[in-house]
Every structure is written in structure tokens, then in C-alpha cells.
Chain A
Amino acid sequence: MGLLTELKDSISRVTDRLFTDEEPKRIGIYGPPNAGKTTLANRIARDWTGDAVGTESHVPHETRRARRKEGVEIERNGKSVSIDIVDTPGVTTKVDYEEFTDEMEEEDAIRRSREATEGVAEAMHWLREDVDGVIYVLDSAEDPITQVNTMLIGIIESRDLPVLIFANKIDLEESSVKRIEDAFPQHKTVSLSAKEGENMDEVYDNIAQYFG
């Protein structure tokens, strides 16, 4: 193949890539530890592909490495959106292995904390480099105004990434979606229970609308 033809093909590939809408959007699921990110990722993946993404647990930092489920096709109201779901470890500024020693042996706790720190670092790096949109999951039974939440939402805003806030765990008695809406009024908040599958229709409507 001649140099000119190669160049033309190369330009054509680049322009095709620029103007096609077929590439799945990489949607990062972010939020603090134990907000229910993996439960939500699994719910979405199971509903649309039949497979789960990862293991769910009540122990913080169960998800220590980002996990990706590729090519999840969500169809809503005649509109179809293809997304890669990236389930990330809970973001925090500190990890102490002793927090896990009630649940496991010291050696396992140390390994867990090491993996957790690597996972958080990776998730932060991806947020700067590799995601097209963010689903920010919060436990609606907890106070949303924490330094990490405010900081993360600020980082997401500074990158101009589309973000949907999911107020999870509405099945809990102490849940307050309004507290989350009041904390981040500049963003759309959708309430749900990923565990019970409550309000998932609205979840999918909003995913299709925001990331489609």
C-alpha cells in the first residue's frame, strides 16, 4: 500500500472514530465505601447481560480493583445506549488495615488494605483519564456532606463529566433522599434500592437520557 493511500486510510479511521456514536461510553461508578456500588453494578449487568460484575459484601473495600463489564446495552423508550460499566473501589483518603482485623486474620487484613489503596489510586487515575461519565452512588441513610464526597463531586465537575447521583438504600428506614438532593442541588438525584431492585425503571431512563 502506498504512503498516500495509507495516510488517507489513517485519516479516514480517525474521522470515523470522531464522528461515530457506536463506541460504548465508559461510565465509572464512584462513591464512598459501602454505598452499594457493586450491588448496583451487578443489578445493571444482570438486568441487561445476565452476568454479574463482582462480589458484594458488608465489609468495606470488598471491591479493591476496578472491574469492567463491557458492552452493556440499555434500551429505553426506543433509545439505546451502550455502556462499559466500571465498578470502582470506594474512594477514601485513608485506609487502616486494623479496621478489617475484626473480620479476618491480620495477614488477610494487610493484604486487603494494600489492594484497597492500589484500587483507590487506580480509580482516581481513571477518573482523570478514562471515563466518559459518572454514576455517583451514595448511601441515603448516611450524611452525604463529607469531605470526600464534596471533593470527588468537585473533581468530576472540573472535568465537565456528566454525572448522575444515585441515592441508594431507600429500603432502609433511616434513608433520606432529600438530604442528598439538598447537598448536591446542581445534579440530578435518582433514588433506588439496588439490593431490592426498587425504582430501577427510573434508573435506566436516566442512564439512557444522560449517557445516551
Chain B
Amino acid sequence: MPKATNADDLDGPDGVQIDLISGERMERMATTEKIRMILDGVHDGNIVILEEGLTPDEESKLIEMTMAEISPDGFNGIEIETYPKSETRDSSLLGRIMGSNESTAKLTVIGPANQIETLHKDETLISALVSRN
């Protein structure tokens, strides 16, 4: 016999949503769109995982926009973890001219600062604890 639905079930599942964003999707977006999407997700309590990470310029804009949205008793910022950049990245003059130095960041994990805690990070593993708060 099916179990009766109680009122709590109507509020939706109790859990943490994880958004895994492909590099292909990010490639089609402007910097502001990317940052808006990340911050909207984090404001909703989601963990956002970017397959390709952000460029340094986008990272600096993410910090700037995060700061503009922090409020007492509300959103208190983000936790962000990225794998270290590849040692083999092209830092030659030609590489810089061609812009290949801009997007070599590996996978990036971003979440609400009050919900995500990094337990361990090395070149191949990011281990994070996410609380439902």
C-alpha cells in the first residue's frame, strides 16, 4: 500500500542541489551572465561546479560582485575551490598573445560560505563538506 503523503513532503525534497555546468555552456555566456548564474545559484543554497572554471579576470569580477551582495543576517559570501592550474600551460609570448593563458583553470567548486567547508584539496581532489544549514 502506498505511503500517505504528509505536509512536509509538499515543501520539496530535503537536500542540497548541485549544479554541474559544462564548459560548452559557459563558453556561450558573457562574463556578467556567468557571474550572475553562479551567484543566483549560491544565493539559492546550491553548490555550483564549473567544468572549465573561470578566467582570472572573471574571478576578480566574481569577488567584486560577491562583495556587493553580502548583507548582515543574509548572504555572507562564497567559498570557492579550484584545482591548481596546469603546470603545462602555455606562458610563452605567443601563448599570451593568443590568449591561451586565460582559460586553463580546471574544475571549480563554488558554494555558500555558511554551508560549504573544504576538508581537503590537492592537485587531483577537492573534498568538501556541505551542510544543509
Contacts and interface: CB of A to CB of B under 8 A. Distances in A.
Interface string B67-108: 110101000111111101100000000001000011001000
Nearest to B109: A147
Given A117-B68, A128-B57, A158-B57, A96 B80 contact: no
A160 B66 CA distance: 25
Contact of A91 (B63, B79, B102): B63
A93 B81 contact: no
B85 to A, nearest CB: 7
Interface in A93-122: 93-97, 110, 113-114, 117-118, 120-121
Interface in A140-176: 147, 150-151, 154-155, 157-160
A127 interface: yes
A154 B77 contact: no
Q: How large is the interface on A (under 10, 10 to 19, 20 to 34, 35 or more residues)?
A: 20 to 34
Contacts of A206: none
A128 B59 CA distance: 11
Chain B: number of interface residues, binned into ranges: 20 to 34
Q: Point out which of A91, A110, A117 has the most chain B C-beta atoms below 10 A from its C-beta.
A: A117
Contacts of A121: 63-65, 67-68
Contacts of A158: 55-57, 101-102
A150 B63 CA distance: 14
B63 A96 contact: no
B63 A154 contact: no
Contact of B79 (A93, A120, A151): A93
Contacts, number: 79
Contacts of A113: 70, 72
A94 B79 contact: yes
Nearest to B118: A147
B67 A151 contact: no
A98 to B, nearest CB: 8
A97 B71 CA distance: 9
Nearest to B62: A93
Given A127-B60, A155-B57, A155-B60, A95 B82 contact: no
Contacts of A120: 63-64, 67
A68 B66 CA distance: 24
Nearest to A121: B67
Enumerate the 5 nearest inter-chain pairs by beta-carbon distance, A residue then B residue, closest first: A94-B77, A158-B56, A94-B113, A121-B67, A117-B67
Interface of B: 55-57, 59-61, 63-68, 70, 72, 76-82, 84-85, 96, 101-102, 105, 113-114, 118, 121
27 contacts: A91-B63, A93-B66, A93-B78, A93-B113, A94-B78, A96-B77, A97-B76, A113-B72, A114-B72, A117-B67, A117-B68, A120-B67, A121-B63, A124-B67, A125-B64, A128-B60, A147-B81, A147-B118, A150-B82, A151-B82, A154-B56, A154-B59, A155-B57, A158-B55, A158-B57, A158-B101, A160-B96
